[in-house]
A and B are shown apart, each in its own frame.
Chain A
């Protein structure tokens, strides 16, 4: 059956990923077939080493598959040249990393503004959008703070603001709450739910079962294969 590229924002066909270390070949993803609909909030779960982060890196264009095909927003991105991938990530995708991944020399506002400026938005306008987005995640009062002056939860919210400020088609989050306390984790999850209500497609990797309940769909991975999809 042909994948529906209009309804599905992400489609993978027989995606495999192998890592080679000398003579030793480890297959981390073993033929993943996956379809994620526009506006879905999907959690990818599984034990450590199941391949969940690796799968996210493939579909988010941060890594290259060994074999198989990946379609994102209708584009066959499998063999897309690196320069095009960078541009695609800038315009169409947003990322939230486990360790926040903020630039230490930039304030919260500047961190959020950088991708916007790269897209050609004037700096002053980028700051306005950054401030609005930071306000949306509850950090309107901390726009001028450097990351080192923010708590872990606040840094992760800046990271979310940076990921959504340019209104990406898909928001990818890799273990976004792993380094946070319960209160901060709940706040992050709440922000994701609100974004999803507004129509944002979200793909989140997590190993925490309770967060799976907050999503539309949970894909379980085991030994590089989808073991359950609910």
Chain B
């Protein structure tokens, strides 16, 4: 029998073009409100994915930034654990002052002491004194301010003057007024006002000081300390040489962790690590901050995943309803010879359109409004000024995840409908 067994038709050669052709027209002629609502869902999903995570991580990230800006600087040199001071401090300071990458530095004298508000009054036997233990820190007020700008964080009273031999600045965490916690393990000073006289004691040396101001920088290194001018602190601590206890170094604006590592390496090459501990701002971060940051990132991703699931289900439903109501037309398309792949692609393109539109609008809202707004108006948390932490790389990864999930969510229902028997679809069976 002279039959032709093989047909020579190039199949699926133009599936993408037809898929796009159908998708474009379906989107173009779809109900404006439906399109708007789907894109709104995708935009909100995107924001949920990025903003929730960004705010959670931002709480910690702002703490890390604050630690760097108001505490350690870019590189911090502290005394070794077994030492009482940084050895050869002046050599280190001299080298640092000669390095072009060092934009500013400050040094501190630190001792442990206590601050007593009841030193003038005779206490009853059953009475505990209004007294708190604290780190007593001697600073050059002007120099310190170039690094940590702590004068910006004086919440009451004023900043120290270089000639103020009697004045002290007290960190808010030492004051009941600002940290209303009272347990046996955590004492705070009560009823202390600006201008009040207190007794400052380090070891067997005491000095009457006057409260000049209170500071609250949301950095523990500042808020648990009592600041006074360096010359008075040296006397009180009993430091007979010029060795200091802490050196904070600031690099040029916009310096990265790599720049800090480079400076650290220079100091190591000079052998300064023999008498001091040299750390970049990252190394100096309290470990708990990193732990919380990781936990918050995990939480953010968890919440974001729920958002992704909601978006996927939304897209699934939208495409499914769209495809099921067009089952007959899908059957007709197959009937007149349109490749099932082209039909599936048309639905995938629609999904991509919704995901991309939602993401683009979300990106515009994120970087055009939310990030700058929250940067300018940080969220006021007790331990940090919350920012919206949304680095572009992380955001683009989330966009990609959203896109892939949406494509899958669009493809599955389209495939389900397209797979149905052509004749049944045409006849509405």
Please give the residue numbers on chain A whose beta carbons come within 8 Å of chain B beta carbons, in ascending order: 2-3, 5-6, 57, 62-63, 71, 74-76, 80, 83-84, 86-91, 93-95, 97, 101, 103-106, 110, 114-115, 117-120, 123, 146, 162-163
Contacts and interface: CB of A to CB of B under 8 A. Distances in A.
A86 B340 contact: yes
B2 to A, nearest CB: 6
A103 B333 contact: yes
B2 A74 contact: yes
A62 B10 contact: no
Contact of A91 (B9, B17, B26): B9
B29 A74 contact: no
B334 interface: yes
B338 A62 contact: no
- Residue from B21, B29, B30, B336 with most neighbouring chain A CB atoms (10 Å): B336
A84 B1 CA distance: 21
Interface of B: 1-5, 7, 9-11, 13-14, 17-18, 21-22, 25-26, 28-30, 328-329, 332-340, 342, 422-423, 426
Given A101-B426, A118-B14, A87 B337 contact: yes
A206 B125 CA distance: 115
Contact of B337 (A6, A74, A80, A115): A115
Given A80-B7, A114-B21, A118-B338, 13 more contacts: A86-B337, A86-B338, A88-B9, A91-B337, A97-B426, A101-B329, A103-B333, A104-B329, A114-B336, A117-B21, A119-B14, A120-B10, A123-B17
Given A57-B423, A84-B7, A87-B337, A103 B18 contact: no
28 contacts: A5-B3, A62-B423, A71-B3, A75-B4, A76-B3, A80-B7, A86-B338, A86-B339, A86-B340, A87-B7, A88-B9, A90-B336, A90-B337, A91-B9, A97-B332, A101-B328, A105-B22, A105-B26, A105-B29, A106-B25, A110-B21, A115-B336, A118-B14, A118-B18, A118-B342, A123-B21, A162-B336, A163-B336
Contacts, number: 106
A120 B11 CA distance: 10
Contacts of A117: 14, 17-18, 21
Contacts of B338: 86, 90, 114-115, 118
A74 B5 CA distance: 9
Do most interface residues of chain A lie in helix, strand or loop, or is the interface mixed?
A: mixed
Contacts of A162: 336
Nearest to A93: B337
B191 to A, nearest CB: 76
Contacts of B2: 5-6, 74
A62 to B, nearest CB: 5
A112 to B, nearest CB: 11
